[in-house]
């Protein structure tokens, strides 16, 4: 058992939360290879957990108990979607594991409750037919911001990029001669994808006539930012919300465009393996959820309702 080979030091009761969170962040980045948005989410949960413990128990972290961990998870699950709660529980397990390895607290990873939920139980939520074209047509291609929004939308909608991959996209990642683009994905995995002509044209239009800034660095930068800083996840989501209002369609999140890209490829005749390769899934079981969007073949498998 890990708890026997690496006992915690009960005499280490208090900790400088700021210093600890800094080391925890370095652990997530350097040793776990997590992307910045994931690290930021883990740190948020860590900060909330430690603050709640000190505020409620008024003791050092060596006094952490299974009871407090369970109560924290139950409170975190209140009025939150299942997916959000699962992410918070995963972050909490990571924190508890690091507290133990750091000699600050007993090993409580095993007492974290599991969140009820079944993989593949839901349906992928894309866009209704025609709405993506309305989003693109709503972009004012005569303005820099309109060219930028159109380039972002078409990248996510055609190649299924995650928001984190979109904001990490660098000018050096685009190989114009070979019509390829390198995507910096999860866990520092780099994947090369073909660059379709419409995607390349939208990118070139934005870079040449809308981006400004230096010829190096991130593709998508903030308006009027001489430092050429990349966009944030929140910024991309806000831009999509504005695009939806402008086009007169219901507000969607960026991941819905990724779902749309997958379902469009599947309906166009691509295999699940091909869809998984484009979306950069690690497992085919992740891609399998999209089989449920092809209704006609599934109807042949349905048994008649008894009368």
Tell me, yes or no, if 17 is annotated catalytic.
Answer: no
| Residue where one domain finishes, among candidates 54, 78, 111 | 111
Domain limits at 79? 2-111
- Cβ atoms of 151 and 203 closer than 8 Å: yes
**123 assigned to some structural domain:** no
Catalytic residue from among 186, 222, 246, 253: 186
Catalytic residue from among 87, 88, 162, 211: 162
Strand runs labelled E in the chain? 174-175, 180-184, 190-194
Tell me, yes or no, if 162 is annotated catalytic.
Answer: yes
**158 assigned to some structural domain:** yes
Let me know whether 98 and 57 are in one domain. Answer: yes
Let me know whether 98 and 153 are in one domain. Answer: no
Let me know whether 24 and 158 are in one domain. Answer: no
> How many contiguous H segments (helices) and E segments (strands) does the chain have?
14, 3
pLDDT band at 206 (very low <50, low <70, confident <90, very high): very high
Q: How high is the pLDDT of residue 7? A: 47
Q: Is the pLDDT of residue 183 over 60?
A: yes
What CATH number did the domain enclosing 61 receive?
A: 1.10.150
Catalytic residue from among 17, 47, 222, 281: 281
- Cβ atoms of 205 and 151 closer than 8 Å: yes
What CATH number did the domain enclosing 259 receive?
A: 1.10.443.10
Q: CA 273 to CA 264: how far, in whole Å?
A: 14
Q: CA 225 to CA 113: how far, in whole Å?
A: 45
pLDDT band at 162 (very low <50, low <70, confident <90, very high): confident
Among 9-18, 37-46, 261-270, the least confident range? 9-18
Tell me, yes or no, if 209 is annotated catalytic.
Answer: no
Q: How high is the pLDDT of residue 285? A: 61
Between β-strands 174-175 and 190-194, what pairing exists: parallel, antiparallel or unpaired? Answer: unpaired
**Listed ranges 47-61, 69-83, 223-237; the one with the highest mean pLDDT:** 69-83
Q: At what angle do helices 66-77 and 82-101 cross, to 10 degrees?
A: 150
Tell me, yes or no, if 258 is annotated catalytic.
Answer: yes
Going by C-alpha positions, the residue among 185, 173, 182 that lies closest to residue 258 is 185
Tell me, yes or no, if 150 is annotated catalytic.
Answer: no
Tell me, yes or no, if 186 is annotated catalytic.
Answer: yes
Let me know whether 96 and 210 are in one domain. Answer: no
Let me know whether 167 and 225 are in one domain. Answer: yes
Going by C-alpha positions, the residue among 150, 42, 146, 168 that lies closest to residue 97 is 42
| Total count of domains within the chain | 2
**31 assigned to some structural domain:** yes
CA atoms within 13 A on the CB side of 63: 10
Q: Is the pLDDT of residue 268 over 90?
A: no
Among 81-85, 152-156, 223-227, 231-235, the least confident range? 223-227
Can you read off the two tokens belonging to residue 187?
């866990």
Among 97-101, 143-147, 295-299, the least confident range? 295-299
User: Could you tell me what percent of the chain has a pLDDT over 70?
Assistant: 76
Let me know whether 8 and 105 are in one domain. Answer: yes
- pTM for the full model? 0.57
The residues, ordered by sequence, that sit 6+ positions from 253 with a Cβ below 8 Å of its Cβ are 237, 240
Let me know whether 201 and 145 are in one domain. Answer: yes
Maximum CA pair distance of the chain?
71
């Amino acid at each position: 058992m890990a708890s026997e080979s690496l006992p915690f030091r009960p005499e280490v009761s208090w900790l400088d939360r700021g210093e600890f969170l800094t080391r925890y962040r370095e652990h997530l980045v350097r040793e776990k290879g997590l992307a910045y948005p994931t690290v930021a989410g883990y740190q948020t949960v860590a900060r909330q957990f430690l603050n709640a413990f000190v505020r409620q128990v008024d003791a050092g972290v060596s006094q952490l108990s299974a009871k407090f961990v369970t109560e924290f998870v139950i409170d975190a699950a209140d009025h939150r979607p299942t997916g959000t709660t699962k992410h918070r529980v995963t972050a909490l397990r990571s924190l508890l594991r690091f507290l133990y390895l750091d000699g600050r607290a007993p090993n409580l990873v095993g007492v974290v409750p599991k969140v009820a939920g079944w993989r593949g139980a839901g349906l992928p939520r894309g866009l209704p037919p025609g709405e993506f074209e309305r989003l693109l047509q709503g972009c004012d291609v005569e303005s820099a911001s309109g060219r930028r929004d159109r380039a972002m939308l078409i990248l996510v909608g055609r190649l299924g990029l995650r928001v984190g991959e979109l904001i990490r996209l660098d000018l050096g990642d685009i190989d114009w001669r070979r019509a390829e683009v390198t995507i910096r994905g999860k866990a520092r995995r780099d994947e090369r994808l073909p660059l379709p002509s419409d995607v390349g044209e939208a990118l070139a239009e934005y870079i040449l006539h809308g981006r400004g800034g230096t010829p190096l660095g991130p593709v998508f930068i903030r308006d009027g930012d001489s430092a050429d800083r990349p966009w944030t996840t929140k910024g991309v989501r806000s831009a999509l919300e504005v695009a939806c209002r402008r086009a007169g369609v219901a507000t969607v999140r960026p991941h819905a465009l990724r779902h749309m890209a997958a379902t469009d490829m599947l309906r166009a005749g691509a295999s699940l393996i091909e869809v998984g390769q484009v979306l950069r899934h690690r497992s085919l079981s992740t891609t399998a959820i999209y089989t449920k969007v092809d209704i006609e073949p599934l109807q042949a498998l349905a048994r008649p309702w008894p009368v």
